[in-house]
Amino acid sequence: MKAWIFAVGSELLTPFRVDTNSLAITERLNAIGCDVRFKAVVGDDVEDLRVLFERGIGEVDLIVCTGGLGPTEDDITRDALGRALNLELDLDERILGSIRARFERRGLVMQEINRRQAMVPRGAMVLENSRGTAPGLWLEREGTGILLLPGPPREMQPMLERIIDERLKARAGGRGLFRRVLRITGRPESDVDAVAQPVYAKWTSAPVPIATTILAKMGQIELHLTADAAGEEEAAAALESAVGELVDVLGPSVYSVDGRGLEEVIGDLLRERQLTIAVAESCSGGLLSSRITDVPGSSAYFDRGLVCYSNLAKIEWLGVAEALIAAHGAVSEPVAAAMADGVRERSTTSVGIGITGIAGPGGGTPEKPVGTVAIAVVTPEHRSVRTFLFLGGRDMVKFQATQAAMNMLRLLLADGPPVHRD
């Protein structure tokens, strides 16, 4: 089954807004084996949208159109579809009544302009909007299912689910695309691909074909595995075995095979081992603390963090010796280690992390250019101290430093199999 997605709204043709609805729609359609082949964005121009509808109807199995269903003159989706199909729009009294009731419940009088939202192309099925005023619409013509959805994601989603259940699942014939994501850090993309490609290349012609995409993101690489299978069980088995093969060749650089972020992975490791953690950051400026505490329930293991930008803060609050800073410089492995030890001892946690570096754009020297970061992780049994050179702007250096610190902790703590599988 093949689908096209249209997004309607002049704001989507400015430099400020991008159509993200189509991503969520694509994910749901893919899961029932429906492929998205084309996406288009048009402004609030009824003729532009009419032309698009005319091209798609009879040509593709499904058209999903979001936006342009509101009450104002700018909301042109109903009219455009009416014109494309030569259909009259009728006032639907039931919709009008429920829009009016919605206003009355909030003590408001419905403005007449809202009548537009109750106009329905003749023969269309109305999809009630439990979270807003604009209803959705469903119509079939010339073998094409046409789904009109409101723009706001929370209003759109229940209608999409309903049509998937009531109409699309049966058409799609049970096959679907199912996904798993492997997350990798501490290894360059070219290296990951060189190792992984010979493994995943052969899956495209397997009985349950699996397509693999490599996505390089800041501080990590993702391998997206998509199985084309007759059902969830078949897909899960094929994906589980594929994931296992990749973990075997990629080793401990794979930190997650179940969608968890690195902060969740280390959170789970700390919780399982009943450890607590305190961190001392310089160049990462609090981002490590913030990422660790992004995880709900992190107060169970995160005790405190110190952002010590000034040398005085390092000396006073962490007990880093002034002579150590003088001898090695604030950005050095000995100072990172003293920060990790200091924060751990003073907070009496089990784990301490110290990060010191040069985030830029200023402050670099020939010996220690911008992007130089020393990181120390100390636990009751182990210590790990390393120096990195990260590329990119200030925000990228900060992020990569936190990524590297959490990964060092993960590798120190992982004494069982390299990756926690679900």
Minimum CB–partner distance for residue 415 and a second copy (Å):
26
CB nearer to a second copy: pick between 27 and 191: 27
- What the block records as the tokens of 10 is 């002049």
Q: Annotate 110-132 with DSSP letters as a single string.
A: PPGGGGGGGEEETTPEEE--TTS
Residue pair 129/157 in contact (Cβ under 8 Å)? The answer is no
Residue pair 123/108 in contact (Cβ under 8 Å)? The answer is no
CB nearer to a second copy: pick between 21 and 117: 21
CB nearer to a second copy: pick between 89 and 293: 293
Q: Give the whole-angstrom CA distance, residue 4 versus residue 61.
A: 8
Minimum CB–partner distance for residue 51 and a second copy (Å):
9
Q: Give the whole-angstrom CA distance, residue 199 versus residue 202.
A: 6
Minimum CB–partner distance for residue 203 and a second copy (Å):
17
- Output phi, psi for 212, to 5 deg: -120, 130
CB nearer to a second copy: pick between 302 and 388: 302
- What the block records as the tokens of 367 is 């010996």
CB nearer to a second copy: pick between 27 and 128: 27
Q: Give the whole-angstrom CA distance, residue 71 versus residue 68.
A: 9
Minimum CB–partner distance for residue 343 and a second copy (Å):
11
DSSP label of 135: P
CB nearer to a second copy: pick between 325 and 359: 359
Alpha-carbon dihedral sign for residues 235, 237, 238, 240: positive
- What the block records as the tokens of 17 is 């807004």
Residue pair 324/334 in contact (Cβ under 8 Å)? The answer is yes
Q: Give the whole-angstrom CA distance, residue 422 versus residue 322.
A: 47
Three-state DSSP state, 331: coil
Q: Annotate 250-278 with DSSP letters as a single string.
A: HGGGEEESSS--HHHHHHHHHHHTT--EE
Residue numbers at the binding site for a second copy (CB under 8 A):
11-20, 22-24, 26-27, 30, 35-43, 45, 48, 213, 215, 224, 281, 284-290, 292-294, 296-299, 302-310, 312-313, 317, 347, 359-362, 394-395, 398
CB nearer to a second copy: pick between 13 and 125: 13
Q: Give the whole-angstrom CA distance, residue 64 versus residue 148.
A: 6
Residue pair 250/184 in contact (Cβ under 8 Å)? The answer is yes
Amino acid identity at 112: E
CB nearer to a second copy: pick between 296 and 417: 296
CB nearer to a second copy: pick between 129 and 347: 347
Q: Give the whole-angstrom CA distance, residue 115 versus residue 155.
A: 19
Minimum CB–partner distance for residue 226 and a second copy (Å):
8
Three-state DSSP state, 387: strand
Minimum CB–partner distance for residue 108 and a second copy (Å):
12
Minimum CB–partner distance for residue 287 and a second copy (Å):
4
HSE-CB of 60 using CA atoms within 13 angstroms:
21
Minimum CB–partner distance for residue 263 and a second copy (Å):
11
Q: Give the whole-angstrom CA distance, residue 396 versus residue 390.
A: 8
Minimum CB–partner distance for residue 204 and a second copy (Å):
14
CB nearer to a second copy: pick between 103 and 317: 317
Q: Give the whole-angstrom CA distance, residue 325 versus residue 206.
A: 58
CB nearer to a second copy: pick between 118 and 155: 155
Minimum CB–partner distance for residue 408 and a second copy (Å):
18
Minimum CB–partner distance for residue 34 and a second copy (Å):
12
Instruction: Tell me whether strands 144-149 and 62-66 are parallel, antiparallel or unpaired.
Output: parallel
